[in-house]
Structure 1
Amino acid sequence: MADLNTPSKKLSALVITYNEIGYIEKCINAISFADEIIVVDSYSTDGTFEYLENHPKVKAIQHPFENFTAQKSFAMNQATNDWILFVDADEVVSDKLQKEIKSTIENPNACEAYWFYRKFMFKDKHLRFSGWQTDKNHRLFRKSKVKFTDKKLVHESLEVDGSSCILNEKLTHFCYKNYDDYKGKMLKYGRLKAKEAFYKEKSFSYFAMLFRPAWKFFNHYIIRLGILDGKKGIIVCYLNALGVLERFKELKRLEKKNELTYFLVMP
């Protein structure tokens, strides 16, 4: 039998945070089975870092936030184990998922990375549709076999040297705390997506600014069955569309700023 105490079988659980005092306790409790817990905090102001700093099982580090990809890459570099479990501060690993993670990393024929499907929660109620029913992310992987792509600033993705598999149990994601919090999150994502587009030299379009948010809402609310989520579906689909609108508004601002800088430095 393989020695489960060897470094290859140990697990580092990683989280990045900013003002997550309402959820971080449940998150940490649910990953306490890991051999190492590292949380990289981008200077929270609500007591999140103080809670983490005083937690006996957590190594808390403060690091300035540039974008999600850079922050997660920094966190991964702090891990001492090859097997990494990456969760968001508003996510919870169920008991069944814990058992599946443990058995997976103990398997000598394990894949290099694993996708997790997620169960989305609107406050404490299950959000069954609204475009999220097929959402999945790489959350369990071997550090030596992956790297975060530098092509994305938000909704970061992994480049995997090897095979990817899917775990059966879902990760519970408390995506919606309240209206203002979710709105702020969508606007932030929209601005980061605009920077991605700007760096890729994609141009602002009035047509796209009008069409894409409307399509986002229609796609998630009608085609992806958000209508079946009732009032929850309307709110989430609207705010997701608002994030798309913000992407184009921010792209326009970036282009104007770039044009102004160009004319100011012209001889």
Structure 2
Amino acid sequence: MSPRLSVVMIAKNAADVLPECLASVQWADEIVLLDSGSDDNTVELAQRLGVKVHVNTDWQGYGIQRQRAQTLASGDYVLMIDTDERITPELQQSLRDVLSAPQPGAVYSIARRNYFLGRFMRHSGWYPDRVLRLYERSRWQYNDNQVHESLDCRDAQVIELKGDLKHLTCRDFADFQRKQLAYATAWAQERHQHGKKTSLTGVFSHTLGAFMKTLVLRAGFLDGAQGWLLAVVNAQYTFNKYTELWALNRGFSKKA
């Protein structure tokens, strides 16, 4: 008998993207959604579409919220996705193949196709953008990071799957910028709490490095106008992270 698969996601105000996401994973044994306090109809919509919905508004960061969501699942394997992601048919087949003959202890890597201002990027460090998302529920879980959380799987065997996970990263630029600023602030506060420091030189060297890495080292120029714009956006995000850390170090910004 094949292991059972639980698709697990966390959400807040995701009603506009949720239906298409759920349609791509309806074949799973169960879908679990942990809502963090939506004020749109995310919860009602998910329930109407047969999802097992729970709510926890005590937000302590993305890592903790994913851990909580995983405890609500009952499947042997977890596929952790976001509401703005979609499983492609080729990836669905790869997932089915894994579940028919799983490798105990292994975790599975999925390539993401990230969408930025009208284009699914092929370079710029945004593809294949492999992420570890399929794993045994009883063996692995996410770390505690507030942002940029990842699967804590130590020395597990990593197996690459065929097929892509479509990620609607940036459909609306203003909304994307607000999220980037929130991520940068959370990143700086977390680093500050762990005693990390930076200098003015560090702020600008990291900012310039982010721009050059995206545009040149990761061949962002091959993504056309979006590649150039993303290089600037990545530099801006990096500048915000390190400037906020610099400000926190000197008492010029409020602690969380």
TM-score, normalising length: structure 1 = 0.87
**5+ residue gaps in structure 1?**
262-267
Verify the 8 A CA contact 2:200 2:246 in the aligned structure 1. Answer: no
- TM-aligned CA distance change 1:84 to 1:217, over 3 Å: same
- TM-aligned CA distance change 1:208 to 1:11, over 3 Å: same
Inter-partner Cα distance in structure 2 for 1:188 and 1:181: 11
Inter-partner Cα distance in structure 1 for 2:115 and 2:254: 44
Instruction: Select the residue among 106, 114, 118 that pairs with 1:120.
Output: 114
Inter-partner Cα distance in structure 2 for 1:256 and 1:164: 42
Instruction: Select the residue among 6, 18, 30 that pairs with 2:24.
Output: 30
- TM-aligned CA distance change 1:108 to 1:230, over 3 Å: closer
Count matched residues: 253
Larger mean Cα displacement after TM superposition, 138-147 or 234-243: 234-243
- TM-aligned CA distance change 1:253 to 1:42, over 3 Å: farther
**Larger % of helix: which?**
1
Aligned to 1:51: 45
- TM-aligned CA distance change 1:108 to 1:89, over 3 Å: closer
Deviations 1:114-145 (A, max 9, x none): 01111122255321112212421111000112
Verify the 8 A CA contact 1:111 1:164 in the aligned structure 2. Answer: no
Aligned to 1:160: 153
**5+ residue gaps in structure 2?**
none
Inter-partner Cα distance in structure 2 for 1:245 and 1:260: 18
Deviations 1:67-94 (A, max 9, x none): 1101111111111112000111111001
Aligned to 1:78: 72
For residue 227 of structure 1, what is the amino acid of its counterpart? F
Larger mean Cα displacement after TM superposition, 189-198 or 103-112: 103-112
Aligned to 1:173: 167
Question: What SS does the corresponding residue of 1:46 show, helix, strand or coil?
Answer: coil
1:218 maps onto 2:212 in alignment: yes
Q: Larger C-alpha radius of gyration, 1 or 2?
A: 1
Inter-partner Cα distance in structure 2 for 1:29 and 1:170: 16
Deviations 1:194-233 (A, max 9, x none): 1231132111311111121121011101221111212212
Inter-partner Cα distance in structure 1 for 2:33 and 2:78: 13
Verify the 8 A CA contact 1:112 1:145 in the aligned structure 2. Answer: no
